[in-house]
Amino acid sequence: MLLGMVSALPGMAANATKASLELSAEEARPGETVVAGVRLTMDAGWHTYWRYGGDSGKPTEIEWKLPAGWKAGQIQWPAPEKHTVEGLTTYVLQGEVVLLTSLTLPADAAAGEQEITARVSWLECEVNCVPGQSEVRARLRVGSQSKPSAAADELKKALARIPKPEPRLQARAWW
């Protein structure tokens, strides 16, 4: 609920949210971009926060540990749910969500198996809030072909849930 009310109660299970990492490819060529999905699965009644937490709350953060020269893009967030309690409005994610990030391999990426690691941290809340974190990993083979992974279709579905910008709704201001 309130960020200032972060506490662990006796008997409360830590990490009601589980994190995992999925990649859109099992093999990619140097210079290609691969979609990485950090899947957060929350116990019933629990939530984490969207990129803007609202009146209280802290968004999930992903710290990538990538092979030399690889680049990670910004997190692409699914639409949140509006959550109002005691006059405070927050924007939350519940159930199971996938936070997507584009990973770009350098043109001179070394061939062979590469490990991709991310340290994921979040604030998870039911009635009270507790910080959660996990280190997730996946392996990607750099080679001469592009080969989708078993998770590729699920990641495409997650991408379809990302809100798209609407150019007609953009505002401009000037003096």
* CA–CA distance, 138 with 148 (Å, rounded to integer): 14
Per-residue pLDDT of the chain (175 residues; tens, 9 = 90+): 333 333 344 444 457 899 999 999 999 999 999 999 999 999 999 999 999 887 878 999 999 999 999 999 999 999 999 988 888 888 999 999 999 999 999 999 999 999 999 999 999 999 888 999 999 999 999 999 999 999 999 999 999 999 887 777 777 778 8
* CA–CA distance, 126 with 56 (Å, rounded to integer): 14
* CA–CA distance, 154 with 98 (Å, rounded to integer): 9
On whether the CB atoms of residues 128 and 9 are closer than 8 A, the answer is yes
Kindly report the pTM of this predicted structure.
0.85
On whether the CB atoms of residues 50 and 77 are closer than 8 A, the answer is yes
